[in-house]
């Protein structure tokens, strides 16, 4: 089945409320969209939302890339060659993982619809559902507790608390969450490279009376080897995020004496589903658990991440709450949340519907 047309566009979307992490505050987000239309009228949808702070690509650049003659050269090609097309896109846009992700996702969606099969089932679905965490940005104690109460009412049981500016305040927020909610929530911490090694060791020691499921990327990229000074039991609870951009990084972080016991895979870091599966395979061979994360993203790319996550047997954690922050989107469907658990539907491709 031939590709008939390719269209792309950029959309600026307001966030429901601003949030702060260790190195930035966000109020809105730009999303790049891609449509791949087949000769029979099927349309596959893709979306790109890279983090410039992490991969050096803006969504504006993603949109420019998606409008190039190279992308238009896919018109007339057979959708059954989607793997070849994604490889060609990867070679063309090597420094732009958000661009590759948008192309990868749109081609997967079109192909899945063409063969009338969900992408998770195409790759072999291993997991039916998992709970996702929902994120509380860096804020004061009262706002932290207020957001947690709101999320409890919504049925979520896992909180990811952004930290990394002041370890003492970070600790206080965690303690107050336990004092108010007891063991109701599973708590994860994401420092976004905000700690020094001394601050990290102080935080780990101070937090010991309380159960923390994991800590994401505590040190700056390039300082990963400092983590080898920690006990292995502590390193097993650390998740690589900004340090883990592609399969090459996965190989360097999966040695026998690995600094991280968990890999956080984001489609916008690694260039979509094929790049994610490369990292997942390396992690599985090294007995490293998978943690699937996101930026502020459309339901399109969140659902794509969920499909590939459920096709990997070493998937253990989800943090796919990026579309919850958007005040609007261009699609619906894809997945539903039941008591905090994410369930994909059985519709072809990614099971999304255009609004």
Q: What is the pLDDT of residues 62-80, one digit of tens each?
A: 999 999 999 999 999 999 9
How many domains, in total, are found in the chain? 2
| Res. 339: pLDDT tops 90 | yes
Helix or strand holding residue 97 (H, E): helix 97-115
What's the mean pLDDT in 293-307? 97
**111 and 192 housed in the same domain:** no
* Distance of alpha carbon 321 from alpha carbon 21, whole angstroms: 15
* Distance of alpha carbon 286 from alpha carbon 78, whole angstroms: 36
**165 and 216 housed in the same domain:** yes
**97 and 40 housed in the same domain:** yes
Q: What is the CATH number of the domain that holds 56?
A: 3.30.390.10
Sort residue 124 into left (φ over 0), alpha (ψ -120 to 50) or beta.
left
- Which residues contact residue 64 at a Cβ distance below 8 angstroms, ignoring those fewer than 6 apart? none
Q: Within a 10 A sphere around the Cβ of 224, how many other Cβ atoms?
A: 20
Domain boundary among 95, 116, 137: 116
Identify the band that residue 17 occupies on the pLDDT scale cut at 50, 70 and 90: confident
pLDDT at 27: 85
Domain boundary among 68, 94, 116: 116
Q: Which residues form the domain of 164?
A: 120-354
Could you tell me if 272 and 350 are in contact, meaning their C-beta atoms sit under 8 angstroms apart?
Answer: no
Of 168, 170, 174, the closest CA to residue 192 belongs to: 170
* Distance of alpha carbon 221 from alpha carbon 243, whole angstroms: 5
* Distance of alpha carbon 42 from alpha carbon 160, whole angstroms: 38
pLDDT at 34: 98
- 256: its two tokens: 């026998």
For strands 341-344 and 335-338, give the pairing: antiparallel
**141 and 101 housed in the same domain:** no
Identify the band that residue 99 occupies on the pLDDT scale cut at 50, 70 and 90: very high
Q: What is the CATH number of the domain that holds 230?
A: 3.20.20.120
**244 and 311 housed in the same domain:** yes
**213 and 160 housed in the same domain:** yes
pLDDT at 71: 98
For residue 198, give Cα distances in angstroms to 71, 168, 205, 244. Answer: 48, 13, 11, 22
Domain boundary among 100, 116, 132: 116
**344 and 239 housed in the same domain:** yes
CA end-to-end span of the chain, whole Å?
Answer: 25
- Please provide the average confidence, as pLDDT, over all residues in the chain: 96
pLDDT at 193: 96
The three state secondary structure string of 220-250 is CCCCHHHHHHCCHHHHCCEEECCCCCCHHHH
For residue 143, give Cα distances in angstroms to 60, 125, 146, 233, 303. Answer: 33, 39, 5, 32, 29
pTM of the model: 0.96
pLDDT at 255: 79
* Distance of alpha carbon 344 from alpha carbon 245, whole angstroms: 26
pLDDT at 21: 79
**144 and 237 housed in the same domain:** yes
What's the mean pLDDT in 178-204? 97
């Amino acid at each position: 089945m031939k590709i008939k047309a390719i269209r792309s566009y950029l959309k600026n979307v307001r966030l429901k409320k601003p949030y702060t992490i260790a190195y930035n505050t966000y109020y809105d987000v730009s999303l790049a969209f891609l449509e791949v239309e087949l000769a029979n009228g099927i349309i596959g949808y893709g979306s790109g939302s890279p983090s410039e702070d992490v991969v050096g690509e803006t969504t504006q650049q993603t949109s420019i890339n998606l409008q190039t003659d190279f992308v238009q050269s896919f018109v007339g090609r057979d959708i059954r060659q989607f793997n070849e097309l994604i490889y060609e896109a990867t070679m063309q846009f090597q420094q732009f993982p958000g661009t590759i992700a948008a192309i990868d996702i749109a081609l997967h969606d079109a192909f899945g619809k063409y063969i009338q099969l969900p992408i998770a089932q195409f790759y072999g679905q291993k997991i039916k559902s998992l709970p996702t965490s929902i994120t509380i940005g860096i804020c004061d104690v009262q706002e932290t507790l207020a957001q947690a109460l709101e999320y409890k009412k919504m049925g979520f049981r896992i909180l990811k608390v952004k930290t990394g500016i002041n370890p003492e305040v970070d600790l206080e927020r965690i303690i107050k969450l336990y004092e108010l909610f007891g063991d109701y929530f599973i708590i994860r911490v994401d420092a976004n490279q905000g700690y020094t090694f001394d601050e990290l060791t102080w935080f780990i020691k101070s937090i010991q009376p309380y159960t923390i499921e994991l800590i994401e990327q505590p040190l700056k990229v390039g300082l990963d080897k400092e983590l080898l000074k920690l006990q292995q039991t502590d390193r097993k609870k650390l998740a690589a995020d900004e340090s883990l951009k592609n399969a090459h990084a996965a190989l360097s972080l999966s040695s026998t004496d690995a600094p991280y016991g968990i890999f956080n895979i984001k489609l916008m870091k690694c260039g979509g589903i094929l790049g994610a599966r490369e990292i997942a395979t390396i992690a599985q061979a090294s007995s490293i658990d998978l943690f699937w994360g996101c930026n502020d993203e459309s339901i399109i790319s969140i659902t794509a991440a969920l499909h590939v996550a459920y096709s990997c047997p070493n998937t253990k954690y989800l943090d796919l709450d990026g579309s919850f922050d958007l005040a609007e989107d261009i699609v619906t469907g894809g997945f539903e949340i039941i008591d905090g658990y994410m369930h994909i539907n059985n519709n072809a491709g990614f099971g999304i519907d255009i609004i």
